[in-house]
Every structure is written in structure tokens, then in C-alpha cells.
Structure 1
């Protein structure tokens, strides 16, 4: 069992505006991500949000959504909330809310690869550059709950490097997120 956890409680500080509601190919970026995750073979899907606008969107799309009242403390708070809301025994796929090129097919290919070695932390890579979404096995739930600040899962990957499994991807844009306004042009190419 794998639960998808969309992390959508950031503040878009580097971007300068709320990027999750930006139009991407005719719909808000985060809506595209939610719809793709819903169309995938994930067993369950959660949205961790901060903005009331996202709460309404989540409700209209029928996705389980949880308000992160500690978002100001960093991404780790969203990770921890997602872990707490996930069923025992489920692995965790963390999907960034600002990666509009992640589609159901890509999610399903990650799931297929994860099920071949379910004890590993599965990280998509383009060459030697790591990307997202990353899948953590259920055994690391307690470790994920110890995270602080903006480190996210990178800290766990460093701590448990012997558990890392890499999934090579052909398209470098798949794992790319949107941090700066000019990144949008790179995603559209």
C-alpha cells in the first residue's frame, strides 16, 4: 500500500506569488497534480495545504485534505502531518505541489518500481540529479516524524543512504519543480 501525499502548504517565497494556483495548461497547477494523482494507482491520496483556496479546490475534487497550521515552521511540518494521517503499514509517496509535469503514468511507473523492492527509499533521478516524488517505506515513518524545518526527506535519505534506490528517468523535466517565475518557461518547452 502506498499513500500519495501532496505537499501544498509552502509560501512560494522565491517565486514571489502563490504558484500553486497559477494556470498551467488550462487549470491551476495544483489541480493538475491532484487530478493526475487521482488517476494513478495510488491506494490513497492526501493533500496537505495552508491556503483556504486550496481547501475549496480539494473539496470540489473529492481529495482528503488536511490544513497545516504549522506551515510557517517549514516543509517538515507538512511531511509530518501527512505521515500522521497515513494508515499504518502504508508507504509514503511525497508529491510536490509545484511539479505539474508529474502525471499518472509517471506515478504508476514509480509505484511499479517501488513494489519490486518495497523496503527501499525510491528516488527518481535524471543522471545524477535527484528529483521527486520520492517513496519512503513504512518502516521510516517514525524517522519522518522527527524532521524539523525545511529539510524534508533529504535528511532521512542522508541518514539511511544504504536504503536508497534510484529510478532513472528519461525526461529531466519530470522531477523539476517551480521555484522561480522563469522556471515556468522550462516546464513549457
Structure 2
């Protein structure tokens, strides 16, 4: 089983006042590096980063060895970035999908979700009642999810339509699930709420 990690990092960060979330500082480096490091250490064989609004800067900031793809239709919503990422991450049997604004992600979380994944299922980490990332798909399911996605919903439509195959995995304590959407969330980048530092 080979695993492609996909990082959706194409948004305009409008609720943050127009800032690239991927480039926000976190532990002395861009937040994108934290996410890529966790996916790599957690067992992903290749990482694809989908850039968009700040494409030149995000691509330039990517760590060595990371595949990048630019989504020219990023303003139409996350669905277009999902399609770009899945199309670019070829040659792998499993897709681990995450967003870039996840400073609490850890390698332990990624390892746990990948180890729990079984063919024919969609593995969804949860933190209490809250669904999170990375979501793990068999490649055929990722392709259908990308094809069905509309607007800014990502894989939500696919997950809702295949509840019988969604395997919810309690990952409470393996990561802080908080994301960075508005200025008040920037405290997460200062280490608050990050439970494990094995990224």
C-alpha cells in the first residue's frame, strides 16, 4: 500500500484579512512545513500541495521533495483544489487528505489513521464529536469524491452519501483539531492546545 498525502493550501485566507495560511509562522517555520512533516513522518510516501491564491509564494515555500500543483480555479472553492490534488497524486493506492490550517497535526495522528484504514472504507478521524483530518480514502473513492464535490465543500458530499462505509476513528488526544480561520485562531500557532509535538 502506497500513500499520497494531499495538502489543500489554495485558499485566499479572506477571514484572516487576506493572508496565506500556508505561510503563517509556526514553530519558527511556515505552517505548511508542520503539516508536510507530520504527513511524511506519519507514513505518506509522497506529498502533493495544492496552491492557488498565493501560488508563487506557497510553491517557493514548499520543502524539498514535495510535489506542487497550482489550482487556477481556487476562487471557486475547495472542490476545485480537491480535484487538482487527486489528479496530481497519481500512482498511489491510498489518499490521505488534509487542509493546511491544521497546526495541531502530528505524525502520531497520521500513523494511527493510516494503520486503521481498511480497503473499501473511508477513515475519518474524530475528536470528540468533531470530524477532522486527515481523511483517508482508497484511490477510487478519492476520485469519485473529487468528481462529486461542488463549491467549497470538499469531500463532504461524498462522505454524507457513503455513511455506511465511513469508519469514524476516535483520535482524541492525538492532536489538537483546531484550525486557523479567523484572527482569534492565531493563538493556535503559538503552541496553545498542541498536545503532542512529534511532527
| Superposition TM-score, scaled by structure 1 size | 0.90
Summarize deviations over 1:125-175 as a string: whole Å, max 9, x none.
Answer: 112111111112223113422312101011111011111101102238532
Indicate the RMSD between aligned Cα atoms, in angstroms: 1.8
d(CA) in 2 for partners of 1:176, 1:87? 30
Partner deviation per Cα, 1:72-110 (whole Å, 9 max, x = no partner): 111001100111112256222111111011122211111
Q: Could you tell me which residue of structure 1 aligns to residue 144 of structure 2?
A: 142
| 2:134 aligned residue | 133
Q: Which one of 33, 36, 39 corresponds to residue 37 of structure 1?
A: 39
Structure 1 contact 121–137 (Cα < 8 Å) conserved: yes
Q: What is the DSSP-based 3-state SS (H/G/I as helix, E as strand, rest coil) of the residue aligned with 1:84?
A: helix
Match in the other structure for 1:76: 79
Between the aligned partners of 1:130 and 1:92, the Cα distance in structure 2 is 17
Q: Aligned partners of 1:63 and 1:89: how far apart in 2?
A: 15
CA contact (8 A) 1:125 1:167 kept: yes
> Deviation of residue 69 (structure 1)?
0.8
Per the alignment, in what secondary structure is the counterpart of residue 14 of structure 1? helix
Aligned to 1:99: 102
CA distance in 2, matches of 1:18, 1:65: 16
Match of 1:86 in 2: 89
Q: How many residues align?
A: 186
**Aligned pair 1:4/2:17, yes or no?**
no
The 4+ residue runs of structure 1 with deviation greater than 3 A are: none
- Describe the SS at the equivalent of 1:136: strand
- Counterpart residue number, 1:55: 59
Residue in structure 2 matched with residue 177 of structure 1 by the alignment: 179
| Structure 1 Cα separation of the partners of residues 174 and 111 of structure 2 | 17
The answer as to whether partners of 2:8 and 2:99 remain within 8 angstroms in 1 is yes
Unaligned runs of 5+ in 1: none
The alignment's TM-score, normalised by the length of structure 2, stands at: 0.86
Give the Cα separation in 1 of the matches to 2:174 and 2:14: 24
